[in-house]
């Protein structure tokens, strides 16, 4: 029935800050940045892979009242909103060192797992991100 | 009236931004606890990470996450102990000290309080799953 997962979303509190982080630090690329009037459709992807995009959505109107948006922001910043990503890399430790030098906030250092080496970090808003170097 | 409404809205926004900023700092402190769960609870260090006074840290943490830092740390240690009970064949005493408890009595009592079973019962009734930390240490 279906062919692919093309878009997922996570909530960000500020889209410019999100760009700085996801593109400027993590090295993803902008897949779409469109002013739709009622919202800014901002999506990123791994460079060269626009077939899988992450929408960086700012909670608010028209989908939500300011009160609801506030609840969402509250949960995001507590790390409890549930938005998260897992990326793959060819070099977990090297990427970790590079991102650490850029001031990325890690929650877990590269660790050996049955499936490879992975580590954990947070985006500026509280979302969880992990990246894995799969076992060869 | 109109002007008052605008001021109220602005105040609301400022208050919620302050709450979000505090949440994020408390989360940073909680992440630090997750990384050093076997160490004694270091409130001064955590307060520095969270940019609050020591006196405010415990209260603010509780207001944010609904439990005290001490309780959070206990739950984290018990969660790590459950992991080691499942995935290794190390002794209960070994695991107790490994995850940061100072005595077997405190460990057993806390474990039973949180899990509802003793460490030995838990080990007997569970199977290894090989899961990593991505959800349990979220």
Residue B104: per-residue pLDDT: 97
If asked whether residues B61 and B7 sit together in one domain, one would say yes
Q: Does A50 touch chain B (CB under 8 A)?
A: no
What interhelical angle do B2-35 and B69-87 show, nearest 10? 40
Q: Does A108 touch chain B (CB under 8 A)?
A: yes
If asked whether residues B10 and B60 sit together in one domain, one would say yes
Question: What is the CB neighbour count within 10 angstroms for residue A115?
Answer: 12
The candidate with the shortest Cα–Cα distance to A25, out of A128, A118, A126, A101, is A101
Chain A nearest C-alpha distance from B8 (Å): 13
Residue B78: per-residue pLDDT: 98
**pLDDT tens sequence across A25-57:** 999 999 999 999 999 999 999 999 999 999 999
Say if B47 falls within a structural domain. yes
CA distance B76 to B35: 10
- Provide the pairing of β-strand A84-88 with A53-57: unpaired
Residue B95: per-residue pLDDT: 98
Residues of B in contact with A120 (CB under 8 A): 133-134, 137
Element (H, E) at B33: helix B2-35
Residues of B in contact with A108 (CB under 8 A): 34-35, 133, 137
B98 and B38 Cβ atoms separated by less than 8 Å: yes
Domain range for B109: 72-125
Q: Please provide residue A99's backbone torsions phi and psi, each rounded to the nearest 5 degrees.
A: -75, -35
If asked whether residues B58 and B78 sit together in one domain, one would say no
Total number of domains in chain B: 2
If asked whether residues B103 and B78 sit together in one domain, one would say yes
If asked whether residues B34 and B83 sit together in one domain, one would say no
Residue B15: per-residue pLDDT: 83
Q: Spell out the per-residue pLDDT of chain A, length 136, in tens.
A: 999 999 999 999 999 999 999 999 999 999 999 999 999 999 999 999 999 999 999 999 999 999 999 999 999 999 999 889 999 999 999 999 999 999 999 999 999 999 999 999 999 999 999 999 999 8
**pLDDT tens sequence across B10-42:** 677 788 899 999 999 999 999 999 999 999 999
Query: Which of B23, B35, B134 is nearest residue A74 as measured by Cβ atoms?
Result: B23
Say if B134 falls within a structural domain. no
CA distance A115 to A96: 18
Residue B2: per-residue pLDDT: 53
Residues of A in contact with B18 (CB under 8 A): none
If asked whether residues B92 and B59 sit together in one domain, one would say no
If asked whether residues B35 and B59 sit together in one domain, one would say yes
Say if B135 falls within a structural domain. no
Choosing from B16, B38, B66, the residue where a domain stops is: B66
Choosing from B47, B66, B85, the residue where a domain stops is: B66
Choosing from B37, B66, B95, the residue where a domain stops is: B66
Query: Which of B16, B35, B132 is nearest residue A73 as measured by Cβ atoms?
Result: B16
Say if B7 falls within a structural domain. yes
Domains and CATH numbers, chain A: 7-134 (3.10.180.10)
Query: Which of A13, A84, A113 is nearest residue B132 as measured by Cβ atoms?
Result: A113
> Which letter, b or e, does each residue of B60-79 get, where b requires 16 or more Cβ atoms within 10 Å of its Cβ?
bbbebbeeebeebbbebbbb
A70–B16: do the CB atoms touch at under 8 Å? Answer: yes
Residues of A in contact with B20 (CB under 8 A): 13, 73-74, 76-77
If asked whether residues B46 and B79 sit together in one domain, one would say no
Query: Which of B27, B31, B132 is nearest residue A77 as measured by Cβ atoms?
Result: B27
Query: pLDDT below 50 — which residues of chain B?
Result: 1
């Amino acid at each position: 029935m279906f062919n692919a997962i093309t878009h997922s979303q996570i909530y960000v509190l500020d889209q410019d800050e999100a760009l700085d982080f996801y593109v400027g630090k993590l090295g993803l690329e902008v897949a779409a940045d469109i002013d739709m009037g009622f919202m800014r459709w901002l999506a990123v992807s791994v460079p060269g892979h626009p077939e899988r995009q992450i929408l960086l959505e700012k909670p608010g109107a028209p989908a939500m009242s300011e009160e609801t948006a506030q609840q969402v922001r509250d949960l995001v910043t507590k790390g409890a909103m549930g938005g998260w990503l897992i990326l793959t890399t060819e070099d977990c430790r090297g990427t970790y060192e590079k991102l650490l030098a850029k001031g990325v906030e890690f929650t877990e250092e590269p660790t050996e797992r049955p499936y490879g080496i992975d580590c954990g970090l947070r985006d500026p808003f509280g979302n969880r991100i992990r990246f894995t170097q799969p076992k060869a | 009236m109109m002007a008052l409404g605008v001021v109220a809205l602005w105040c609301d926004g400022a208050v919620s931004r302050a709450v979000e900023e505090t949440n994020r700092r408390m989360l940073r402190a909680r992440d630090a606890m997750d990384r050093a769960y076997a160490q004694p609870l270091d409130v001064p260090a955590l307060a520095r990470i969270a940019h609050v006074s020591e006196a405010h840290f415990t209260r603010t943490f509780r207001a944010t996450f609904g439990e005290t830092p001490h309780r959070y740390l206990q739950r984290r240690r018990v969660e790590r102990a459950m992991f080691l009970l499942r995935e290794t064949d190390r002794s209960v005493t070994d695991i107790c000290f490994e995850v940061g408890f100072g005595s077997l009595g405190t460990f057993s009592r806390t474990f039973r309080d949180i899990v509802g079973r003793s460490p030995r019962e838990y080990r007997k009734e569970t199977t290894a799953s090989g899961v990593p930390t991505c959800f349990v240490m979220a």
